[in-house]
Amino acid sequence: MIASPRTLGLIANLSEFSGTELTCHSPIDGSLLATLRADAPEEVDRKIGLAVDAFRQWREVPAPRRGELVRLYGSKLRQNKEELAQLVTQECGKVIEEGRGEVQEMIDICDFAVGLSRQLYGLTIASERPEHVMQENWLPLGPVGIISAFNFPVAVWAWNSALALVCGNSCLWKPSEKTPLTALACQSLFDDVLVQFEDAPSALSQIVLGTYVQGQQLVDDNRIPLISATGSTRMGQAVGQRVAARFGRSLLELGGNNAIIVTPSADLGVAVPSILFGSVGTAGQRCTSTRRVIVHRCLFDQVFDMLKGAVQQIGSSKVGDPLDAATLVGPLIDEAAYEVMQRAIERVRPHALEIVGGQRVREDLCGVYVHPALVKLNEQVESVCEETFAPLTYVMPYDSLDEAMLTHNSVPQGLSSAIMTTDVREAEYFKRYSDCGIANVNIGTSGAEIGGAFGGEKETGGGRESGSDSWKAYMRRQTSTTYFGTARPALAQGIRFDV
Ligand code: NAD
């Protein structure tokens, strides 16, 4: 299945990028989509230089005018939503409905950023000294390096770039080596908009193609004050330390190990569909996928059996070609992901009360398709504390909510969490004590809206992207005090320094 000319047609100058270093295969059937070159070190260096020049020009453009560029880009995405969604599905394998959702997320963040471009507010702070004015100003930061993961090949870039651009920054995007085509398509659409916009420099947003090697070059370059990196905790640990070593700033969005607690008062008609979407949706390849379900013992067997029935139904008839509208679970990204999933199942097997699914299916399609797996456990064992990026969900019992909370929080990651309850006390207790960046009530762990700040604690990296005041990460804060009097200026803290 070669990507149709319609979808690859989104990339205006594909031949310019052809080479031998990056081979792009579709996870749908393993077919070769394109072979691309990776940027050589001197090319990355040149692009960083261009990004610095572009930043110097762009920061002079008033923020609402910068917002206008993002507005035009949002319109361009609306016009090309279906083609881009198809390419997302062809390149990363998520079902087409989720491919469309991902492009919609890009459009939504553009809308958000347009409004934001008129709201980059600072503060006026009461000064302790007479005839003094103290202010907090937010200023453009510089070129922003964006490193993204394969599973949200376009939305995460849009979260970062839409905000970074209205904040007055230029962008350098190193997409996942598994999904460079969608990145090139986004860049082509951006370039189309840029030519209509006189006051924007041509290198305002650039792509750096390659692997971790090119990522590392961005990470180590002093000219890039902010690295926003999305991916595994392993990657984040390396990136965070290297950026810190040069006193740069990093915004890390890393792995999750998300759980849903199901209490005795839960409405199972709400809980079970939410758990299912979180567990098997996107073939378990979301950072917010539901990996653990912690169920009160009085509902444990019932909830497990309900989930088992649904997972078996999905595994037997709804796993397949993600471009087919009837499919709910597409392929895993590659063979390595399947092997990691199998190893996780083998590690947990000695502790499991029951294991459903996990085997390979649809071998006729030549991609890596699996029957989603469900593991029934008596307690949370060591291997459950690791993120397995596949449709593998552990179901465990609890007796008291304190105990459930302890189990919930005793993993190294802290991204998304949820409780299923109709008891307001349980809901408030959960929101207070969940150690995650996201804590939902009667909503699953995956599928966040762009309006809220997105991100997590602990090994998830502490970064916040997207809505709320996440824009502040893309600007530098300056405190400024002005004296407008004529007498000798007073010193703070009443200090006297009379000469
Ligand atoms: P990955 O860590 O293998 O790669 C992510 C990106 O980092 C790629 O572009 C890769 O080239 C780059 N990279 C890897 N090592 C690097 C290094 N040392 N220096 C610079 N760049 C480096 O992740 P993946 O397999 O593409 O994505 C899956 C992971 O991403 C999962 O752990 C998932 O939970 C996480 N993720 C997190 C979020 C979030 O918002 N928290 C969102 C999506 C995915």
Ligand 1: which atom is nearest the Cα of residue 465? 40
**What confidence tens digit (pLDDT) does each residue in 273-303 have?**
999 999 999 999 999 999 999 999 999 999 9
Determine the straight-line distance between the first and last CA of the chain, rounded to whole angstroms: 83
Output the residue whose Cα is nearest ligand 1's atom 13: 212
Q: 252 alpha carbon to ligand 1 midpoint, in Å? A: 10
Q: 335 alpha carbon to ligand 1 midpoint, in Å? A: 17
- Rounded mean pLDDT for each run of 10 residues along the chain, 499 residues in total: 76 90 95 96 98 98 98 98 97 98 98 98 97 98 98 98 98 98 97 94 98 98 98 98 98 98 98 98 98 98 98 98 97 98 98 98 96 98 98 98 98 98 98 98 96 98 97 98 95 93
Ligand 1: which atom is nearest the Cα of residue 287? 34
Q: How far is CA 50 from CA 47, 88, 194, 367, 484, in A?
A: 5, 28, 16, 40, 40
DSSP 420: E
Element (H, E) at 89: helix 81-92
For residue 6, the model assigns a pLDDT of: 73
Nearest Cα neighbor of 146 from 133, 158, 134, 132 is: 158
Could you tell me which CATH number the domain at 258-441 has? 3.40.309.10
Q: How far is CA 182 from CA 21, 83, 145, in A?
A: 17, 10, 18
Among the CATH numbers 1.10.3720.10, 3.90.25.10, 3.40.605.10, 3.40.190.10, which is that of 5-254+461-479?
3.40.605.10
For residue 493, the model assigns a pLDDT of: 96
Are 460 and 413 in contact by the 8 Å Cβ rule? The answer is: yes
**What confidence tens digit (pLDDT) does each residue in 442-471 have?**
999 998 999 999 999 999 999 999 999 999
- CA atoms of 22 and 211, how far apart (whole Å): 9
- CA atoms of 344 and 392, how far apart (whole Å): 9
Catalytic residue among 102, 105, 253, 387: 253
Q: Where are the domains of the chain?
A: 5-254+461-479, 258-441
* Phi, psi (rounded to 5 degrees) for 399: -110, -40
Choose one of 157, 159, 212 to mutate for the ligand 1 pocket test, by most ligand atoms within 8 angstroms of C-beta: 212
The answer to whether 287 is a known catalytic residue is yes
Ligand 1: which atom is nearest the Cα of residue 174? 9
For residue 202, the model assigns a pLDDT of: 97
